[in-house]
């Protein structure tokens, strides 16, 4: 049995589905308890229902985008593990970056289906899971204390009268992503100049061009809803180009 057939086998679906079922139960318990508590403190049931329906509709489009991520990741890690990873902690950017790092740490040239085997697959899965746990551990062991401190602080603080400049935190994530993208793009240019392999660079450029089209419509034409699809669709354009280039040469 080849690797992808093993990664897409029924037992793997059942294991991933079992973990997700637990998280579904967790969400339902929190939902029901909070709804009842809202009624108990005198909140209008209409307001509570509106919060639920508006959140459901708000989530629909981004969820379709996450589903596209499952397809993108599913080609190398199989559908069930991609389904699990994109339903729990993290996001597509994190999962792909970490899968790539884990794959190269195992001696692969990258996250390539042609080089994958089951041992690499389970190791990648473990690295993906452990690598994102810092926020969860903070929540698990420090949330109650931290929220208590923040509540006490907000009671003693007076509200600022003028709008202050946002902190560096707002720029730190952007800077971090700029750094990650620089390293990858630099490596694609280096791959092209050193070995003549133009495919990674070409795919990156085509995805970037597709993202440029999205940026035009979301920023210039104010079609903000398109932002839900910008990354996943741009990726698919680049990946489709890879197939066409491979067929053409």
Question: Which parts of 154-213 interact with other proteins (CB under 8 A)?
Answer: 154, 168-169, 171-191, 193-195, 199-201, 203-212
Nearest distance from residue 85's CB to other proteins, in Å? 9
106: contact with other proteins by CB under 8 A: yes
In the list 217, 226, 229, 245, the residue contacting other proteins (rule: CB under 8 A) is 245
CA–CA gap between residue 139 and residue 145 (Å, rounded): 10
152: contact with other proteins by CB under 8 A: no
CA–CA gap between residue 209 and residue 233 (Å, rounded): 11
Residue 76 contacts residue 112 (beta carbons within 8 Å): yes
CA–CA gap between residue 76 and residue 72 (Å, rounded): 8
Q: How many other C-beta atoms lie within 10 A of the C-beta of residue 124?
A: 26
Nearer to other proteins, 28 or 223 (CB): 28
Sites for other proteins among residues 11-40 (CB under 8 A): 11-12, 15-16, 18-20, 22-24, 26-31, 33-35, 37-38, 40
CA–CA gap between residue 50 and residue 215 (Å, rounded): 32
114: contact with other proteins by CB under 8 A: yes
CA–CA gap between residue 16 and residue 129 (Å, rounded): 13
Nearer to other proteins, 155 or 161 (CB): 155
In the list 144, 163, 220, 221, the residue contacting other proteins (rule: CB under 8 A) is 144
130: contact with other proteins by CB under 8 A: yes
Q: Compute φ and ψ for 161, nearest 5 degrees.
A: -85, -35
Nearer to other proteins, 161 or 206 (CB): 206
CA–CA gap between residue 67 and residue 38 (Å, rounded): 32
In the list 45, 47, 152, 223, the residue contacting other proteins (rule: CB under 8 A) is 47
Residue 118 contacts residue 6 (beta carbons within 8 Å): yes
Nearer to other proteins, 64 or 223 (CB): 64
Residue 23 contacts residue 137 (beta carbons within 8 Å): no
Residue 99 contacts residue 76 (beta carbons within 8 Å): yes
Q: What DSSP designation does 114 have?
A: G
Sites for other proteins among residues 57-76 (CB under 8 A): 58-60, 62-64, 66-67, 70-76
Q: 191: buried, middle or exposed (CB in 10 Å: 19+, 13-18, 0-12)?
A: middle
Nearest distance from residue 166's CB to other proteins, in Å? 9
Nearer to other proteins, 74 or 161 (CB): 74
Nearest distance from residue 243's CB to other proteins, in Å? 5
């Amino acid at each position: 049995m080849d690797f992808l057939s093993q990664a897409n086998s029924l037992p793997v679906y059942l294991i991933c589905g079992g973990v997700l079922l637990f998280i579904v139960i967790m969400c339902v318990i929190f939902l029901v308890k909070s709804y009842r508590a809202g009624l108990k403190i005198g909140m209008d049931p209409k307001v509570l229902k509106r919060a639920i329906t508006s959140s459901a509709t708000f989530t629909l489009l981004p969820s379709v985008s996450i589903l596209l991520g499952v397809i993108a990741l599913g080609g190398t890690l199989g559908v069930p593990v991609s389904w699990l990873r994109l339903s729990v902690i993290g996001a597509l950017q994190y999962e792909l970056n970490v899968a790539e790092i884990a794959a190269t740490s195992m001696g692969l040239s990258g996250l390539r289906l042609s080089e994958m085997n089951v041992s690499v697959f389970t190791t990648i899965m473990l690295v993906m899971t452990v690598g994102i746990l810092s926020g969860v551990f903070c929540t698990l062991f420090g949330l109650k204390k931290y929220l208590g401190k923040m509540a006490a602080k907000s009671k003693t603080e007076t509200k600022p009268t003028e709008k202050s400049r946002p902190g560096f935190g707002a720029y730190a994530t952007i800077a971090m992503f700029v750094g990650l993208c620089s390293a990858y793009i630099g490596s694609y240019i280096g791959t092209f100049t050193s070995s003549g392999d133009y495919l990674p660079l070409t795919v990156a450029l085509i995805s970037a061009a597709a993202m440029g089209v999205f940026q035009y419509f979301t920023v210039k034409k104010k079609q903000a809803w398109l932002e839900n699809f910008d990354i996943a669709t741009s990726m698919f354009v680049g990946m489709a180009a890879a197939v066409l280039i491979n067929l053409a040469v």
